[in-house]
Structure 1
C-alpha cells in the first residue's frame, strides 16, 4: 500500500466512524439524544431515551461502520496492522465525529464491528464477559469496560504476538477512557443501573425452596 493510499484509507475509516447512527436517525425523528438522558450519542442512551427500535438501528449502524472501516483497509491492501489502525480510526470517528461537532458516543459497538472482521474469535469471550457482568450488576458501562479488559487477557491466552497484544491493550484503555464518567458515577454510587437486566443477581438472591 502506498503512503497516499494509506492516508486516504485512514481518512475514510475516520469519516465512516463519524457517521453516528443515533444522530442521523435522530435527525429523521427530530431529536438530538445528546440533549437527553446521559447526553451520550451511543446505543445505551438511545435505548433509554428513544426505545428499543431506535437503539437497535443505532447499534446496527455503529457496528456496520466498524466492519466497513476494516474491510476498506483490507480492500486497499493494508496488512493486519493497518486494519487494526482502521478499526481504531473508526472508533475515533465515532467518539469525535467531524460531522457532529466532535461530540459522539463511546465506541463499543464500532469496536465490535471492527473485531467481527479483524478478530472474530475474540467476540465470544468479550460478549460473554459483557453479558455476565450486565446480568449480574445491571451496569452497562462496567460491563463494557470489563469486556475491554478481557481482550488483552484473551490475546495472552491465544498466544498472540506483541502487535495483537498492543492493539488489545489500546482497546481496553480506550474503552476505560470513554467510560470514565460511568466509572466515576459508579464510585460515587449514583451510576444508572438496568434493574431488569439483573437476572443473575435475582437468581442468586432467591432463597432456597
Structure 2
C-alpha cells in the first residue's frame, strides 16, 4: 500500500512540476506579454527564442529539460522499476503539454521529453539530439524532431544491446507513448487564420512534420495570432 501511495504521489508531483510554464512566466516577467499570443503561440523555449530573446531561451530550455530528468531521477532514487519511471516521465510531459496552470494549453513537451529520455538512456538522448540538430543548417529542426520521435521505439527495441537497454519492452512502449503524445499535441491545436486557405491534408502534414500550420517558417514565427483582437480591445 505504501508503494502505491508513493507512486501516486510522485505521479501527481510530476504532473504539477510539468505544468510549471517557464516560457510563459519568462515572457510575462521580461516583456509583459502572453507568449501564447505571439510568434507560433507555443509555450516553449523555441517561441521564447523567437519572441523574447536568445538569452532567455537558454534557462527555459534548461528548466524544461530538467523537470523531465528530475522526475525520472526521483523515481529512480525511490527504487521504482523501469515501467514506473517511464510513467512518471510521461506524467511530466503531459503536465507540460496540458498544464493545469494555463487551462491545459501548454507547449509541445520536446525538451521535457528529452530530459525523460536521457534519464532512461543517455544514448537514446544523444540520438535525439543528433537526429534533431543534424537538420538545423537546413532550418528543419522540427522535421528532425519528428523523425527522432518516430524512430526511437525502433532503436530501443532492435538496438537494445548496443544501447545498454536491459528492459526493452517498458522502454519501447514508453517511447511509443511519448512519441504519440508529442505528435498528438501538434495535431490537435486549433486552426489559425493563417491556415484558413490550407487544405486539411496539407495542414495535417505541416503540423506533423514541421509543427506549424503553413510551410513559410518566417511568416509563422513572426505571426501574432491575436494581433487584430488586441487592437480592437485597445480601441
TM-score by length of 2: 0.75
Is the contact between residue 145 and residue 179 of structure 1 (CA under 8 Å) also seen in structure 2? no
How far the C-alpha of 1:188 sits from its partner, in A, is 7.2
- RMSD of the TM alignment (CA)? 2.2
Cα distance in 1, alignment partners of residues 13 and 24 from structure 2: 19
- Pick closer, same or farther for the CA change 1:39–1:189 going to 2, 3 Å: closer
Q: Secondary structure at the match of 1:78?
A: coil
1:41 counterpart residue number: 43
How big is each residue's C-alpha offset from its partner over 1:51-81, in whole Å with a ceiling of 9 and x where there is no partner? 2111112111101111111122223331111
1:168 counterpart residue number: 175
1:94 counterpart residue number: 96
How far the C-alpha of 1:22 sits from its partner, in A, is 0.5
How far the C-alpha of 1:27 sits from its partner, in A, is 2.9
Cα distance in 1, alignment partners of residues 72 and 107 from structure 2: 19
State how 1:1-209 maps to structure 2 within 5 Å: 2-29=3-30, 30-136=32-138, 138-155=139-156, 156-159=158-161, 161-180=168-187, 183-184=205-206, 190-192=215-217
Cα distance in 1, alignment partners of residues 48 and 3 from structure 2: 40
Greater shift, 139-148 or 181-190, is seen at: 181-190
Unaligned runs of 5+ in 2: 190-202, 220-235
How far the C-alpha of 1:189 sits from its partner, in A, is 5.3
Cα distance in 1, alignment partners of residues 159 and 77 from structure 2: 29
Unaligned runs of 5+ in 1: 195-209
How far the C-alpha of 1:172 sits from its partner, in A, is 2.0
Is the contact between residue 140 and residue 193 of structure 1 (CA under 8 Å) also seen in structure 2? no
Is the contact between residue 76 and residue 85 of structure 2 (CA under 8 Å) also seen in structure 1? yes
